[in-house]
Amino acid sequence: MIPVCAEGEIAEGTAVRVDDGDRPIAVFNVDGELYAIDDTCTHQDASLAEGWLDGCTVECPLHASCFDLRTGKPTGPPAKVPVRTHGVVVRDGHIYVEVDV
Ligand code: FES
């Protein structure tokens, strides 16, 4: 598991970016629910943690592709490939991301 931050450090409607040494992961807080996806847009090289949240959808800051945080699937062009989703665990006051190897 990858440590992210202390519980409560991700304000509602925002995201944080963590790097697992392989690829960055973005963790979003949507109305108190935490979602983790690969941070890099599948269209080009942009950080989705820097995008705009609308409910469970994040819009890429570069060309406005939209992704569903629950599934990773693109819901708006130009991206066609999903981002990976990851499990989020809150344990002893800290947030962790579970990444499949
Ligand atoms: S880099 Fe995200 S839509 Fe182009």
Kindly report whether the global pTM for this prediction surpasses the value 0.85: yes
Give the per-residue pLDDT at 20: 74
pLDDT at 21: 77
Nearest CA to ligand 1 atom 1: 44
The pLDDT of residue 9? 97
CA distance 20 to 57: 23
* Per-residue pLDDT, 44: 97
Q: How far is the CA of 65 from the centre of ligand 1 (A)?
A: 6
Closest ligand 1 atom, residue 45 Cα: 1
Domain of residue 31: give its range. Answer: 2-98
- Which pLDDT does position 49 carry in this prediction? 98
List CB contacts of 92: < 8 A, sequence separation 6 or more.
Answer: none
Q: Residue ranges of the chain with pLDDT lower than 50?
A: none
Give the nearest ligand 1 atom to 78 CA.
3
Tell me if the bond preceding 78 is cis, omega within 30° of 0: yes
CATH value at residue 67: 2.102.10.10
| Tally of domains within the chain | 1
